[in-house]
Structure 1
Amino acid sequence: MQVTQYRLPPTALMPNSPYPLLHYRGLEIEPKASKFYDLFSQNGWRVQWIYRYGETQRSHYHSSAHECMVVLSGTATIRFGVGDTSLDMDDNTYGPAREQGGVEIEARPGDVFLLPAGTAHKTYNTSPRADFTLLSPGDGHGIDAQDPRAALDQVPLSGFTMLGAYPEGSSSWDSLKGGEKNFDEFRSVWTVPKPERDPVLDTSPQGLMGLWPDVDIDLQTAEAPQRLRSRL
């Protein structure tokens, strides 16, 4: 298995994180919901949803929780690290209406992404093409079923689908489109507590335990985004 890390500095709209985005490829696990439910659960992460993604979406981030996503079916491009600068979906997806920088990753079944709180992300160019919808029972903040594991395996997968999980005990995830917070407020996103275990690799230093070193954020001093970029 290969773990690739991407460092994404803050932008004018998006806080991103001092911790790197992690991309896990080559897991010898069938891309089946119950398989990842078992893996994430034993490592202290709670599965909360399966979404099917449409052709595109607005770039967004979660300010209160770290997020782990695994691709179950289909393929797509995921853009990380930058915000959209227009409400025109074609222009901010395929045109120039987005911030400079970021990284784009071609996602396929079995890929796992670990997003530190604040990481901007946007899924587009999905295949097979389908409408965006929540497939798992519940409201996206938990699996509303007596047997969540069994319920996940009963979800019919079509189009590009991902399963999402969050650390046990973390705050409920939110969804922000960028620009709501000023730079001073970015620091509250950067101090979301580090998880106790990696969702895939538990306490191995090959995962977040080694790749997310403890970061001392100076909460008394605001730095301009370009100054922080030079330190990451």
Structure 2
Amino acid sequence: MNSQIQTFQLADDGQIPNNPNLPVIIYKAVFKDQPNEIEEAFNRHQWTGSWTGGVYDYHHYHSNTHEVLGVKAGQANVLIGGDQGERLELHQGDVILLPAGTGHKKIESSPEFEIVGAYPDGTSPNMKKKDPSDRVQALAEINNVPVPQMDPVYGEEGPMLAEWRG
């Protein structure tokens, strides 16, 4: 597996908290030639509770867990971090690691677009939308989500450990 790693930090936009401490990590083309191995790799590295499907077409985030998404088929444009966030084009084999609190929304996708999602130790994600009344509780929850023991792609090594553990 070899891929180009990209990271970026997102600010709280007043609607979507994002994560004040941890950057989003993108693993470009890491499973380009083996998209059917995405779920197995996540599960092997203790990112479980996996599912296959799409990305919602409205801004949402999870305040109680981190989330990893691997593109199994097709491509999509997604908006990460709220209305003023980063617009990304994801292709088959790409993986994006979203720290707790990071907003995400599908803008458009190819008809065959399919992702595999998973969570550290199979944590069941909550669903948060743009709602200022949730903010105080959401920020407290985000700050209490621990950094996982393993990178979802590379296991005991990998960019998540370097980026998220400082």
**TM (normalized to structure 1)?**
0.64
The answer as to whether partners of 2:23 and 2:163 remain within 8 angstroms in 1 is yes
1:77-133 deviation per Cα after TM superposition (whole angstroms, max 9, x unaligned): 010011xxxxxxxxxxxxxxxx4x2101101100001001100000121112xxxxx
Aligned-partner residue type, residue 200 of structure 1: V
The answer as to whether partners of 1:118 and 1:190 remain within 8 angstroms in 2 is no
CA RMSD of aligned residues (A): 1.8
Unaligned ranges ≥5, structure 1:
83-98, 129-158, 215-232
Aligned-partner residue type, residue 14 of structure 1: I
SS at match of 2:35: coil
Q: Is the alpha carbon distance of 1:57 and 1:26 closer, same or farther for their aligned partners in structure 2, counting shifts above 3 Å? A: closer
Could you tell me which residue of structure 2 aligns to residue 64 of structure 1?
64
Deviation, structure 1 residue 39: 1.1
SS at match of 2:69: strand
SS at match of 2:107: strand
Out of 205, 210, 213, the position equivalent to 2:162 is 210
Q: 2:10 & 2:44 partners in 1: Cα distance?
A: 29
1:35-82 deviation per Cα after TM superposition (whole angstroms, max 9, x unaligned): 1222112211114211145xx711100111110000111111010011
Structure 1 stretches of 4+ with a deviation exceeding 3 A read none
Out of 129, 134, 143, the position equivalent to 1:177 is 129
1:190-211 deviation per Cα after TM superposition (whole angstroms, max 9, x unaligned): 221110110012122x411100
Give yes or no for the alignment of 1:167 onto 2:120.
yes
Out of 85, 95, 113, the position equivalent to 1:102 is 85
Out of 4, 12, 16, the position equivalent to 1:14 is 16
Unaligned ranges ≥5, structure 2:
none
Aligned-partner residue type, residue 50 of structure 2: Q
**TM (normalized to structure 2)?**
0.88
Q: 1:162 & 1:185 partners in 2: Cα distance?
A: 26
Q: What percentage of residue pairs aligned between the two structures are identical?
A: 31
Q: Is the alpha carbon distance of 1:185 and 1:112 closer, same or farther for their aligned partners in structure 2, counting shifts above 3 Å? A: closer
Deviation, structure 1 residue 187: 2.8
Q: 2:17 & 2:63 partners in 1: Cα distance?
A: 9
Deviation, structure 1 residue 189: 1.3
Q: Identify, as 1 or 2, the structure richer in strand.
A: 2
Give yes or no for the alignment of 1:118 onto 2:101.
yes
The answer as to whether partners of 1:40 and 1:47 remain within 8 angstroms in 2 is no
Number of equivalences: 161
1:135-190 deviation per Cα after TM superposition (whole angstroms, max 9, x unaligned): xxxxxxxxxxxxxxxxxxxxxxxx211110111153x1011112242346413212
The answer as to whether partners of 1:47 and 1:163 remain within 8 angstroms in 2 is no
Out of 111, 130, 140, the position equivalent to 1:187 is 140
